[in-house]
Amino acid sequence: MALTPATIRFAHRYDLLDRPTERKAHKKPVAMLGGVAIFASLAISLVLLAPFVPPLRDLAFGPGSLGALALGTALMVALGLWDDLYDMPALHKLAGQIAIAVLTYAMGFKVGAIELPFGFELSDAAPISFLVTVAWITVVANAFNLIDGLDGLAAGVALITALTVFLLANQNGATVPVIAALALSGALAGFLRFNLPSARIFLGDAGALSIGYLTAVLALASYQKAPAAVALIVPLLVLGLPVLDTVLAVIRRGLSHLSERGAPGLTVRELVGAVTRPDRGHLHHLLLRNGLSVGEALGVLYLVCIALASIGYQTRALESELRFGIFGLLLAAGYATLRGLERRAVRREADAARAAEASSGLARAQNRAVG
């Protein structure tokens, strides 16, 4: 709460602002260095506490440490900040995210054996663990970046998930994610004061990517000391809103691109460009297109996130088959809901267009009659 106003003033002084465009909802320039304020808050608070809390000093360095987590987060902030300032090509930004995820794996944050239904288990052998870890971090980081389209949405969802991750980590005795998740929750709560509608500061890519990265790594680390195999379904449920929205966005944009370009569009560059191209099909867009106000849409999405986080937390002790079944049902329900909202939004927009056309026609007829 102290750093964010100072960051806002700094951004305005040096013209580091997100300016309105046709596809953006805000009407005046808004500071876009929210990620810097959040990361600075995390770093300063932990550094100031360390001299007085011996466990913090013990966890500062080494594999899977707070220092390793800070390095990965700082790199993600730097990558996002560079994109905010210079608009990186999508492929270059993705390559940077993958490189940071690879470094994170090397620093000791990795997936163990993954529990599957019917007694099966995905091995924790290095190649499998490496691929799953890198994919998980990259997907979740981008998930938060993609849902950052409504004032207070990404930061609020991150706050809810960070608190849930804290509960999971505390249950499993994982100290690093306990400390980091609480610190992240505090930083996000202070930041939200200035990010809720109408926002005075945005997360920017620096903020959205870094809180997505932190949440992804902490969700993994919260299970690293669990006695059983890592059950990724629980973190997936906890992060259900951003992950589902992202997966469906990739599918939607990919299919749309292929229908337009066909086989010639099956290049890596074109596919990455297509799935990262902004559109109005995200859940928050659909709620707005269906007539909800920004505040109402935000309230609905917070409630959905709280519900999914609660379900994820409660399923941690269930049998694997039941956990996967619940996940499958929620995935199907989420997909059906999004499709229903999309069809309703299209109908509303078509009706509005017809009404506008009829009104325009009536006005023209009246003008002709007067003439």
Alpha-carbon torsion (5, 79, 124, 272), positive or negative: positive
Tens-digit pLDDT profile for residues 57-101: 778 787 888 899 999 999 999 999 999 888 888 889 999 999 999
Q: Which bin fits 118, alpha (ψ -120 to 50), beta or left (φ > 0)?
A: left
Q: Is residue 367 part of a domain?
A: no
Counting the structural domains of the chain, the total is 1
Q: Is residue 371 part of a domain?
A: no
Tens-digit pLDDT profile for residues 329-358: 888 888 888 888 888 988 888 888 888 887
CA neighbours closer than 13 Å in the CB half-sphere of residue 335:
10
Can you tell me the mean pLDDT for 178-203? Answer: 92
Of 1-15, 156-170, 331-345, 354-368, minimum mean pLDDT range: 354-368
Q: What is the pLDDT of residue 135?
A: 92
CA neighbours closer than 13 Å in the CB half-sphere of residue 1:
5
Q: Is residue 362 part of a domain?
A: no
Tens-digit pLDDT profile for residues 35-50: 999 999 999 988 888 8
The angle, 0 to 180 degrees and rounded to 10, between the axes of the packed helices 153-172 and 126-147 is: 150
Cβ(94)–Cβ(272) below 8 Å: yes
Q: Where are the alpha helices (DSSP H) in 28-174?
A: 34-49, 54-58, 66-86, 90-106, 126-147, 153-172
Q: What percent of the chain has pLDDT over 70?
A: 88
* pLDDT band (50, 70, 90) for residue 276: low
pTM of the model: 0.85
Can you tell me the mean pLDDT for 118-141? Answer: 83
Cβ(161)–Cβ(238) below 8 Å: yes
Q: Is residue 351 part of a domain?
A: no
User: Which has more confidence, 288 or 262?
Assistant: 288
Inform me whether the pLDDT recorded for 227 exceeds 60. Answer: no
| Gap between the Cα atoms of 157 and 162, Å rounded | 8
Return mean pLDDT, the chain: 83
Domain carrying residue 211: 3-239+287-317
Q: What is the pLDDT of residue 183?
A: 92
Q: Is residue 235 part of a domain?
A: yes
Can you tell me the mean pLDDT for 20-32? Answer: 71
Question: Distance from CA of residue 265 to its chain's centroid?
Answer: 27
Inform me whether the pLDDT recorded for 19 exceeds 60. Answer: yes
Can you tell me the mean pLDDT for 246-264? Answer: 73
Inform me whether the pLDDT recorded for 142 exceeds 70. Answer: yes
Of 117-126, 165-174, 283-292, minimum mean pLDDT range: 117-126
Q: What is the pLDDT of residue 229?
A: 60
Q: What is the pLDDT of residue 350?
A: 87
Inform me whether the pLDDT recorded for 184 exceeds 90. Answer: yes
Q: Is residue 209 part of a domain?
A: yes
Among residues 2, 6, 41, 8, which one has the least CA distance to residue 199? 8
Q: What is the pLDDT of residue 104?
A: 94
Q: Which residue type is seen at 24? A: K
Inform me whether the pLDDT recorded for 191 exceeds 80. Answer: yes
Among residues 105, 109, 114, 207, which one has the least CA distance to residue 152? 207
Q: Is residue 61 part of a domain?
A: yes
